[in-house]
Structure 1
Amino acid sequence: MTLKTLCLGLTALTALSAGAVQADYPERDVRVIVPAAAGGGTDAIVRKISNIAEESLPVSMYVENVEGGMTATGLLQLMKARPDGQTIAAITYDSIITIPWKNMLPGFTMDKMRMIARITSEADAITVSESAPFETFEELIAAAKENPGSIRVGVQNMGARTHLTMLQLQELTGTEFKIVSYDNSAATQKEALLNGEVDAVVTSLGDLAPLIESGQARGLVEFTDTQNEGFPDVPPVTETDTGIDLEMGSFIVLVAPARTPDDVVETLESTYHEAYESDEFQQWLEQIGVTPAWLGAGDVTEWANETQQQLFTTMDDLVEQGVLEK
């Protein structure tokens, strides 16, 4: 056997072995990182769809909550993981917008990960406790104008999406609220609303669905132009008498480490898409008032880049106006 023949044989064997490894994917349980606390909307949605998705796989998909740094801690763990599809993550607004804009992870760009799919889109909303004196969004705005700085509103981290929503709302309505920051979790906002630390919170209606359904809280407005069928009593902001048009919210995007093989990404995409299309998941989303918004691997990266650039421009403008600090 010549040296050339031996080398060709080894090359073919290596390629065959690599193909066999990828063909066997997944070989073991898949870790799904949720970079937020347990109990929030993102956590619930990811657990639900992953539980359905694993029914099509020979292994389990287990969700692990990795809190900290506006999702930066969980995102860092994803980037350090082997690009074999055994570790993926569900990222939200902060991973695509806040972290790169604030340069919280130096050198991080969206090129550091491969996007699998977007599964939901959720508008921000204002929710108050059952004892709050505001029955409507218009009443809330009127009270804020009458007593500037007296109404306490809980957001998820200063400079994060819900804070940006409130800054834009104040600018559009000429109001001033007392903005109270909590860590990047709807779970802490729930606690603050229930124990009276704040009068209202800004997050998605889906995050607070159990409280709203039990009558412990009520939604006043959703920052969108479309009625949420899951919460028919909560109007989109465009249907209020305030005359403002503010659309703001979050989303859930599934991602893998950069350099994850195409066939692995395709397997994950098809597995999650099947779970997404299931009657169980669609009916559950409607029940909790979350909008299904699938974008596959072929479209989600372009959408994310466009969304990032649009919001970067908005945030840079607010910095120039002295409304927001970078």
Structure 2
Amino acid sequence: MIGRRELVGVALGLAAAPGARAQEAYPARPIQVVNPYPAGGATDLMARAMATGLAQRLGQPVVVVNRDGAAGAVGTSGVARAAPDGYTLAFVPSLVLSVLPVTQPNSGLRPDSLRPVCQMFANAQAIAVRQDSPFRNLADLVAAARTAPGRITYGSLGIASIPHLAVLQWARVAGVEITHVPYRGDGAVITDVLGGRLDLAAIVLGSASGRTDLRLLAVFDTARNPAFPDVPTAIEQGFDVAPTSFGGLMAPAATPPERLAVLEAACAEVAREEVYRAAARRAPQPESYHTGADAFARRPARDVAEKAELLRGIGAEASPG
């Protein structure tokens, strides 16, 4: 039986074999991985852990570059337009394929703009408040929102981002109206919540790790997160809302399959390493959430179907790109 390390070797051999599209062995120079969100967030943490592992396996530097803006469209569309040679990749959530083509049609992104290589993470979302907030749970929030419709504000890392959609879905289920304020990253949202300029933060759960100045009202997931065992899910509080957020490594659509095979095989090794699993625990998210290219590629289509109604509802809010 061929082991995973041998699989990496076979894939590398394919890239250099006679008749392969590439004349050079791949990779022959550094690889750039674009994270289309600000540095310091959960996606950034996982991207850098993955890059370290890939570099060790591929024998070339793998450098993470942050190109944030427009809810991830700026950096992602840049990768989609890059040369399809396996040297410019994206580490992104699935929404760049299932959501941004709808909400930002001028971005040039389409569901087939990128080729999924390997799923490497899954994130839960959360609602956070500052420690002196009068809201102790979702019931408190609902009561206040019904008293003053539209008065309560919440920030997220962008229009149609997964945290935005999670809270929007919750608000619809709860039958309340609260006002969304888009930002460029979780850090800026948290700053304004702590400063009293926002009531709530809709964030990736990992952005709350290690913070004592925030209090979480709810986690949007099917079960409590081990890193926050005292924080109930929205489901436990009576609201059936648990939106998915997943993603990983993607390449420009026309990248040669033999180079994608090299990357996919290396990803499988990295996802099982303790270094990467430890990064997942810090994020916090499942320690190993790896799937190969075929399984990963099937998820965005299901994802957009699940979010279709929400996307139609925020059509007027969407950025022109």
Fold equivalence (TM over 0.5) = yes
Q: What does 1:173-212 correspond to in 2, within 5 Å?
A: 173-183=174-184, 185-211=185-211
Contact in 2 for aligned 1:97/1:312 (Cα 8 Å)? no
Q: TM-score, normalised by structure 1?
A: 0.84
Contact in 2 for aligned 1:148/1:176 (Cα 8 Å)? yes
Query: How far did 1:193 drift?
Result: 2.3
Task: Give 1:306's aligned residue.
Answer: 302
* Structure 1 stretch displaced more, 32-41 or 92-101: 92-101
Task: Give 2:99's aligned residue.
Answer: 98
Q: TM-score, normalised by structure 2?
A: 0.85
Query: How far did 1:324 drift?
Result: 6.1
Task: Give 2:18's aligned residue.
Answer: 16
Equivalent position amino acid for 1:311 in 2: K
Q: What does 1:59-208 correspond to in 2, within 5 Å?
A: 59-105=60-106, 108-183=109-184, 185-208=185-208
Structure 1 unmatched ranges of 5 or more: 1-13
Cα RMSD over matched residues? 2.4
Question: 1:137-188: per-residue Cα shift (whole Å, max 9, x none)?
Answer: 32222332334333321122234433332332222112222322212x2121
Q: Distance in 2 between matches of 1:28 and 1:74?
A: 21
SS in 1 for 2:248: strand
Could you say which structure has the higher helix fraction?
1
SS in 2 for 1:306: helix
The answer to whether residue 266 in structure 2 is matched with residue 271 in structure 1 is yes
Q: Distance in 2 between matches of 1:113 and 1:220?
A: 36
Task: Give 2:8's aligned residue.
Answer: none
Contact in 2 for aligned 1:78/1:89 (Cα 8 Å)? yes
Question: Alpha carbons of 1:186 and 1:325: their partners in 2 closer, same or farther (altered >3 Å)?
Answer: closer
Task: Give 2:226's aligned residue.
Answer: 229
Task: Give 1:36's aligned residue.
Answer: 37
Residue of structure 1 aligned with 2:282, choices 260, 268, 287:
287
* Structure 1 stretch displaced more, 289-298 or 38-47: 289-298
SS in 2 for 1:21: coil
Q: Distance in 2 between matches of 1:193 and 1:90?
A: 28
Task: Give 1:11's aligned residue.
Answer: none
Question: Alpha carbons of 1:209 and 1:310: their partners in 2 closer, same or farther (altered >3 Å)?
Answer: same
Query: How far did 1:87 drift?
Result: 0.8
Contact in 1 for aligned 2:123/2:204 (Cα 8 Å)? yes
Q: Distance in 2 between matches of 1:189 and 1:280?
A: 29
Q: Distance in 2 between matches of 1:107 and 1:159?
A: 17
Contact in 1 for aligned 2:126/2:163 (Cα 8 Å)? no
Question: Alpha carbons of 1:286 and 1:94: their partners in 2 closer, same or farther (altered >3 Å)?
Answer: same
Question: 1:21-43: per-residue Cα shift (whole Å, max 9, x none)?
Answer: 35x11101100001111122211
* Structure 1 stretch displaced more, 281-290 or 266-275: 281-290
Q: Distance in 1 between matches of 2:158 and 2:142?
A: 22
Query: How far did 1:313 drift?
Result: 4.3
Question: Alpha carbons of 1:194 and 1:21: their partners in 2 closer, same or farther (altered >3 Å)?
Answer: farther
Q: Distance in 2 between matches of 1:288 and 1:66?
A: 20
Residue of structure 2 aligned with 1:260, choices 232, 245, 255:
255
Task: Give 2:48's aligned residue.
Answer: 47
Larger Rg computed on CA atoms? 1
SS in 2 for 1:132: coil
Task: Give 1:5's aligned residue.
Answer: none
Question: Alpha carbons of 1:177 and 1:314: their partners in 2 closer, same or farther (altered >3 Å)?
Answer: closer
Question: 1:82-101: per-residue Cα shift (whole Å, max 9, x none)?
Answer: 21111111122441233211
* Structure 1 stretch displaced more, 110-119 or 164-173: 164-173
The answer to whether residue 293 in structure 2 is matched with residue 297 in structure 1 is yes
SS in 2 for 1:298: helix
Q: Distance in 2 between matches of 1:18 and 1:283?
A: 37
Q: Distance in 2 between matches of 1:276 and 1:120?
A: 9
Question: Alpha carbons of 1:276 and 1:171: their partners in 2 closer, same or farther (altered >3 Å)?
Answer: same
Query: How far did 1:20 drift?
Result: 6.6
